[in-house]
Chains A and B, each alone.
Chain A
Amino acid sequence: MVATAATSSFFPITSSPDSIDSKNKKLGNGSTNLGGIKLKPSASSGSLQVKANAQAPPKINGTTVVMTPVEGFPSEDAASSLPPRTFINQLPDWSMLLAAMTTIFLAAEKQWMMLDWKPKRPDMLIDPFGIGRIVQDGLVFRQNFSIRSYEIGADRTASIETLMNHLQETAINHCKSAGLLGDGFGATPGMCRKNLIWVVTRMQVVVDRYPTWGDVVQVDTWVSASGKNGMRRDWLVSNSKTGEILTRASSVWVMMNKLTRRLSKIPEEVRGEIEPHFMNSDPVVAEDNRKLVKLDDSTAQYVRKGLTPRWSDLDVNQHVNNVKYVGWILESTPLGIVESHELCSMTLEYRRECGRDSVLQSLTAVSGVGNLGNMGEIECQHLLQLEEGSEIVRGRTQWRPKNAKSFGKMDQVPAQSA
């Protein structure tokens, strides 16, 4: 398969033990990495050194192109000097830093394009298929997605389910290209031997702007430790062309024995497999620690019953795909909110899986209007449960009026009635 050939070319970066072990765990060294440009004020003589070619693959017409293995893209990095670990810092002036770096990056890209542009027919480009690649010291996985016409909703923007599907795809592809895929689900070979699987317990998504049909989004994902026995996976979704951050997401995973269904500590041999891949950055989304309440028939204002999985909702294990829960949660969100507002933030706690024969109900309560000083924002609480009572997912969503932009440019909207 074309895809396998391309991903196998990435192994030279990640599986080289020397480059991984010699990385220093330097926290907060001030360097920030975006789009493959590394600013290393400490490494050079105090000036910003932009290494456009080390990390960023050549771009054609703004498109990120992965050169075929013949042209030796991955091996350049393995052979060059080992760069120190860098971290994504959540600086207070993130947006300013982002703008500066985007400008530098685009300038470097233009220069690079002039130097090394080769006419390529579209069918020779590999990464635009969306296979993705490891970037940045072998710890971050990056993949591009073009938004297809069937992935957008009624307002012509990508649905939240589409965004979460992309997150899921990059997570699996990251595991695959980092050699961590023992089975189809990110379980390492060591985990498979011990019947252990990763189970997601918590997910937070913040959407600053939804991509529209025809946009190309770039999804970066990496993993870090979460406590002693958990793992956190973060995602950063940006507009591939402009670099604007569209979505940030963070998820927490725990290890479970798939036979006993009991939570498990991370065994030493598995720790050895996965720790080299941990980035150990700060979470890309500030953790929302507020307790998620459990709704019931008396506290929920909206209930939608009789939800049943279709064949296409099931994954290869015949469990309902996690992303489908989001669609069901939204089924009971009042249409008035969905039509006039867009989902800007979501926190989910996963409790239990469900399968083909489950019958579910979705409950929603509107818990706040005009929160956080933002006029027109609405907050909802959600519960997705089996009709016989077991909880599947608890959630909280925040909604902002459509056409209200992020980064402080809120339009004046009339007060919305809940």
Chain B
Amino acid sequence: MLKFSYCNATDLNQALVQCRFAGSFGPLSSRRRSPRAAVSCSRSNLTPIQAVLSCQQQVGSDPVESELGSLADRLRLGGLTEDGLSYKEKFIIRCYEVGINKTATIETIANLLQEVGGNHAQSVGFSRDGFATSPTMRKLHLIWVTARMHIEVYKYPAWSDVIEIETWCQNEGRIGTRRDWILKDVATGEVIGRATSKWVMMNEDTRRLQKVSDDVKEEYLVFCPREPRLAFPEENNKSLKKISKLEDPVQYSRLGLMPRRADLDMNQHVNNVTYIGWVLESMPEEIIDTHELQTITLDYRRECQRDDVVDSLTGPELVEGSKIHGTNGSATAITREDDLDCHQFLHLLRLSSDGQEINRGRTEWRKKPT
């Protein structure tokens, strides 16, 4: 799968060919401009943001000529917003993306978040590897890797619903960057979900983390909002919550999970969305049958490859000071005082062979709407 794949230089050219600005027209360009020119557009004497905006406006005002733009761009129904600082795209939920609840699965949602993140990167001229490897990063063999992913879904879309996802990215600390998303139901306009993710920079050869140098920062920060804009602006929100490590003995487990061919990206690493599926594999069936996933937070620790075998472990999250709520004589979860139908769990994925942690997670579940 083309996810978090570490592209080489030829891929950048290919990605730029598909760039929205490749077919654009206006004072800075001629009809069939070379792919490279799209990036240089942002290095002209205009400030980068102004250049981006002027290209964008040309696309909008000269539509007949835009036949030369890629057909997929026309149909992609996504584009940078007017200020150029975020990207929006619409998606229709297809029937095979819907699960046992007749609503989109969390994996579908996660796939769409990644799709729109990649399309955002591509639309500003960066390569499609899940976030954006800027030209300098590729020269230095630097890539982004996901450190944390946090998704909250308030209302799951059903088959043939159309949702709009807006995404943007920002600096985060010295070694990180974040990408945020807001999901809306196009028909009602209501926000149906939010997500945020934290990424760190790694050298793809040494696999060591690296600080975000200033010239790399400059390259991509022009496309990020200047003022901090958070999908989760509220204080002490759950996306910041530390996840404790689940200790043995665990209550629920599913052992011996193996990657399928379709789970692997071009570099034979398991893609991030597969981990979500694995985490849910060890959820007790009585919760899956009666509840839907409201929140999932995953901390990614270690990559997983084709021949790895993984154990998925789940246990209730113990909250200090709450009562233990017994069901059928066994403690399934701690209920929060204010929400009796909510269950919280901790998760751990580790290698079967030596117990090394791959990632840890936290989920919250609410009763299914009737």
B140 interface residue, CB < 8 Å from A? no
- B229 CB to nearest A CB, Å: 22
Return chain A residues, CB-CB under 8 Å to B2.
Answer: 149-150, 152, 156, 213
- A388 CB to nearest B CB, Å: 18
A345 interface residue, CB < 8 Å from B? no
A-B contact count (CB 8 A): 146
Interface stretch of the complex, out of A77-85, A87-95, A286-294, A311-319: A311-319
- B316 CB to nearest A CB, Å: 19
- B98 CB to nearest A CB, Å: 7
Q: Is the CB of B77 within 8 A of A172?
A: no
Mark out the residues of chain B between 107 and 156 whose CB falls within 8 Å of any chain A CB in the assembled complex: 107, 111, 114-115, 118-119, 128
Interface stretch of the complex, out of A10-18, A56-64, A400-408, A410-418: A56-64
A28 interface residue, CB < 8 Å from B? no
In the complex with contacts A154-B266, A169-B95, A144-B186 CB distance below 8 A: no
B256 interface residue, CB < 8 Å from A? yes
List 24 contacting pairs A-B, 8 Å CB cutoff, sorted by A.
Answer: A1-B162, A7-B160, A61-B63, A61-B67, A61-B71, A128-B74, A129-B77, A129-B162, A146-B75, A149-B114, A149-B115, A150-B1, A150-B3, A152-B1, A154-B1, A159-B262, A213-B2, A215-B72, A216-B71, A216-B75, A315-B98, A327-B262, A330-B261, A338-B261
Q: Which residues of B contact A (CB under 8 A)?
A: 1-3, 18, 63-64, 66-67, 69-72, 74-79, 90, 92, 94-96, 98-102, 105, 107, 111, 114-115, 118-119, 128, 160-162, 186-187, 256, 258, 260-262, 264-266, 268, 271, 273, 277, 280-281, 288
Interface stretch of the complex, out of A117-125, A222-230, A377-385: A117-125
- A271 CB to nearest B CB, Å: 26
C-alpha spacing A131/B91, complex, angstroms: 11
Query: CB-nearest residue of chain A relative to B98?
Result: A316
B interface SS class: mixed
- A119 CB to nearest B CB, Å: 5
Q: Is the CB of B105 within 8 A of A214?
A: no
Query: CB-nearest residue of chain B relative to A310?
Result: B277
Return chain A residues, CB-CB under 8 Å to B114.
Answer: 149-150
Q: Which residues of A contact B (CB under 8 A)?
A: 1-4, 7, 60-63, 113, 117, 119, 122-123, 125, 128-131, 144, 146-154, 156, 159, 161, 165, 168-169, 172-173, 184, 213-216, 240-241, 306, 310-312, 314-316, 318, 321, 323, 327-328, 330-331, 338
C-alpha spacing A338/B264, complex, angstroms: 14
- B110 CB to nearest A CB, Å: 9
In the complex with contacts A2-B186, A214-B70, A154-B264 CB distance below 8 A: yes
- B275 CB to nearest A CB, Å: 12
In the complex with contacts A61-B71, A130-B94, A311-B100 CB distance below 8 A: yes
Q: Is the CB of B96 within 8 A of A165?
A: yes
Q: Is the CB of B277 within 8 A of A312?
A: yes
C-alpha spacing A240/B162, complex, angstroms: 22
Query: CB-nearest residue of chain A relative to B64?
Result: A117
Quick one: which of B63, B74, B115 contacts A150, CB cutoff 8 A? B115
